[in-house]
Structure 1
Amino acid sequence: MQDHQIRFIVGIIGNIISAFLFISPSPVFWRICKNKSTQEFHPYPYLATLMNCILWVFYGIPIVHPDSTLVVSINGFGLALTLIYLSIFFYYTTKRNRVIMCLVLLAEAVAFTSICIPTLLAVHTHGERSTIVGTICIVFGIIMYGAPLSVAWKVIKTKSAEFLPIWLCVTGFVNGIIWFAYACLSKKIDINIAVPNGVGALLGFIQICIYAYYTFINPGNKDKPAEVQLPEKKTLPV
């Protein structure tokens, strides 16, 4: 089997794993819909994922980086799912979070426009476009993988990993490994894919360790035996 065939197969596996990565938050959103509240969940991982998917779709289109169909297909799927997640979150969250989400989405729209238009109009070769967009994708890819760490301080403070999205962390870890391998199987290592996914695998591993520690090794919410309070001894009037 030739190298490009192995790379294609790894890419297909990467698409499947990435699909699980994008589907993995669904239990969280089922819980949000059921409780009609976002509780202590944060929108930041999904806002980061949205920007990451948009940029990777842009990176993978033929006029920027040819022969990247697998990159476009999976990130297009992730983009559609993330928009659904954010719509649900926006509907059930607090007014304060809605304002924050609107501001972040506006900033992401401005950022993407400021990346997209100059790249297409001022840069004229595939190599240069791939380098510019790919470098930006590296930054946002790392932000996406690290976004669940936004609740890490809360986990450490409360000694409870209840609101750390573990399936997002696990699939992020596996996804990072697969796409890192995909990038390394190219004739020339695709740094733009290898770096964010290599870092993503490491961040996913750290998140899993935090979850495991506060869930199995040192859970802070162990059920303590209820203390029996004796009724106050009253003295009868003489």
Structure 2
Amino acid sequence: MVMAKAARNTVGILGNVISFGLYLSPCPTFYKIIENKSVGEFKVDPYLATVLNCTFWLIYGLPFVHPDRILVLTINPIALMIELIYISIFFYYAPNQERKKVVYWLCGEVVFVAIVSLVFLLVFHDHKRRIIAFGIICDVFNIIMYSSPLTIMKKVICTKSVEYMPFYLSLANFLNGCVWTAYALIKLDIFILISNGLGVLSGAVQLILYGCYFKSTLRDEKVVDVKASQLQLSVSDGPATV
């Protein structure tokens, strides 16, 4: 029992480290935004989605919902802060129409989280039912985030080129899913297991596609670098996407 707990803590800490790396992966994209003083065709949608995801996983890890998920709780506040920094940079350099979109979405997310949390906490008075309620909604948003690369995978197959799929991001997503799946299996947490198991599958498919189409990709390093950085997403990860 003690060894299982120690193993779980070790895996959870490793998961936090990998998740932290994942959330820092879009830094080159935002560096380009700052350098160009323009958001160009860059989209903020994945980061708005990640804010919602991180917020629900943060609530899931709080003691009044789940009393034994400290490693879920530690990574998500950090992830949330990183995502808000990204969104702030986008907001500063975005045109007025995009700024309005950011404000509307963030306000909507705050209201949505507040209403859902209040209803769940008032209706469900014990840990078991709160875990199920918040776990389901966390899984829904996590699965949506893990499925977001599907459009990129379709593009890879159609173009027979991996220039739109950053290898290291795909690898990090796969490793992140593996670590958090292991964490969920050591002491079964079905909600962490479901979404991250799908994350492993998604990451594996991306890596297989990369291997299949790497040789057929035309090399134009400048174009590849710009396009790949624009497609970097903040996924889930860890309970931050757990």
Provide TM-score, normalisation by structure 2.
Answer: 0.80
Q: Which residue of 1 aligns with 2:217?
A: 219
Aligned length: 220
- Which runs of 5 or more structure 1 residues have no equivalent in the other structure? 224-238
What is the CA deviation profile of residues 12-52 of structure 1, one whole-angstrom value per residue up to 9, with x for unaligned ones? 11111111111111111112211222233322221121111
Matched, 1:112 2:110: no
CA change 1:222–1:87 in 2 (3 A) is closer
Q: Which residue of 2 aligns with 1:226?
A: none
Q: Which residue of 2 aligns with 1:70?
A: 71
CA RMSD of aligned residues (A): 2.5
Q: What is the DSSP-based 3-state SS (H/G/I as helix, E as strand, rest coil) of the residue aligned with 2:49?
A: helix
Q: What is the DSSP-based 3-state SS (H/G/I as helix, E as strand, rest coil) of the residue aligned with 1:217?
A: coil
Q: What is the identity, as a one-letter code, of the residue corresponding to 2:47?
A: Y
Alignment of 1:100-139 (within 5 A): 100-139=101-140
C-alpha distance in structure 1 between counterparts of 2:43 and 2:169, whole Å? 13
Alignment of 1:1-238 (within 5 A): 2-152=3-153, 164=165, 166-186=167-187, 189-210=188-209, 216-219=214-217
More RCO (CA 8 Å, sep 6+): 2
CA change 1:169–1:132 in 2 (3 A) is same
CA change 1:122–1:87 in 2 (3 A) is same
**Greater shift after overlay, 11-20 or 99-108?**
99-108
CA change 1:41–1:175 in 2 (3 A) is same
C-alpha distance in structure 2 between counterparts of 1:159 and 1:31, whole Å? 27
**Greater shift after overlay, 125-134 or 12-21?**
12-21
CA change 1:64–1:22 in 2 (3 A) is same
Q: Is the 8 A contact 1:38 1:92 kept in 2?
A: yes
**Greater shift after overlay, 99-108 or 65-74?**
99-108
- Which runs of 5 or more structure 2 residues have no equivalent in the other structure? 222-242
Q: What is the DSSP-based 3-state SS (H/G/I as helix, E as strand, rest coil) of the residue aligned with 2:147?
A: helix
What is the CA deviation profile of residues 76-124 of structure 1, one whole-angstrom value per residue up to 9, with x for unaligned ones? 1101101001111222234443333333323322321121101112210
Q: What is the DSSP-based 3-state SS (H/G/I as helix, E as strand, rest coil) of the residue aligned with 2:64?
A: coil
Larger-Rg structure? 1
CA change 1:90–1:151 in 2 (3 A) is farther
Provide TM-score, normalisation by structure 1.
Answer: 0.81
C-alpha distance in structure 1 between counterparts of 2:27 and 2:41, whole Å? 16
C-alpha distance in structure 1 between counterparts of 2:91 and 2:160, whole Å? 28
